[in-house]
Amino acid sequence: MDGAVRVKICGLTDAASVRAASEAGAAYLGFVFFPKSPRNVDISQARALCADVPAGRAKVGLFVSPEDALLEAVLAEVPLDMIQLHGEETPERVAAVRARFKLPVMKAVGVAEPSDLAAIDAYGRVADQILVDAKPPKGADLPGGNGLAFDWQLIAGRRWPVPWMLAGGLTPDTVGEAIRRTGARQVDVSSGVESAPGVKDAAKIRAFLDAAVAPPPKLRSV
């Protein structure tokens, strides 16, 4: 991976948002296949939206504890480049999905306290990438996209054997600081670039990309 920070805009639901994310320079464009989410798309929507994604951008499908039948149905119609698993999948299930569908798999791991970090090591042995996200509150309907952050100091300076991506409550105003504190070279945003749940805002997408890829401020000499 080169030195530039790579950005994933997740939960895209319309052509205008796909265009805004692509033009702003997002490396990954995410599409949610989870009916409880306000960002859910069906197969026909996703197929049409992926047709608008320029070459060189990774099309990521987000699934929550999916059965093989759902993955088969989506992948038969939608040209995804990566599968994101955002549910209660075990490491064994992650490995099985990766082997069966022959696509890179990103596994989301929720973090709220130091004990949660051990799961990142376990999933890092079977997934191609790890999404380090804020753990959802108990009883939450959504496993992600809740606009919640976690204590970035928990992962400051940490390294894992596979590429990882920082998520959880990031916004155009906070992403620069999150990158500086954690050393993340990839970041993911969904609700942080919306004007309402499931409604992406082109100006916020551009502002997020600008903030994420901006060089860190120089330290003042004393």
Please check whether residue 90 is in contact with residue 96, taking contact to mean a CB–CB distance below 8 angstroms: no
Beta strands, E only, 23-76? 28-33, 58-63
70: helix, coil or strand?
Answer: helix
Q: Which of 50, 128, 133, 201 is catalytic?
A: 133
d(CA 175, CA 187): 8
Q: Which of 2, 10, 42, 151 is catalytic?
A: 10
**Are 85 and 97 in contact, with CB atoms under 8 Å apart?**
yes
Tell which phi-psi region holds residue 202, choosing left (phi > 0), alpha (psi between -120 and 50) or beta: alpha
Contact assessment for residue 31 and residue 66, using Cβ atoms and an 8 Å cutoff: no
Active site residue 133: yes
DSSP state string for 85-105: E-SS--HHHHHHHHHHH-S-E
How far is 82 from 98, CA to CA, in rounded Å? 10
**Catalytic residue numbers?**
10, 133
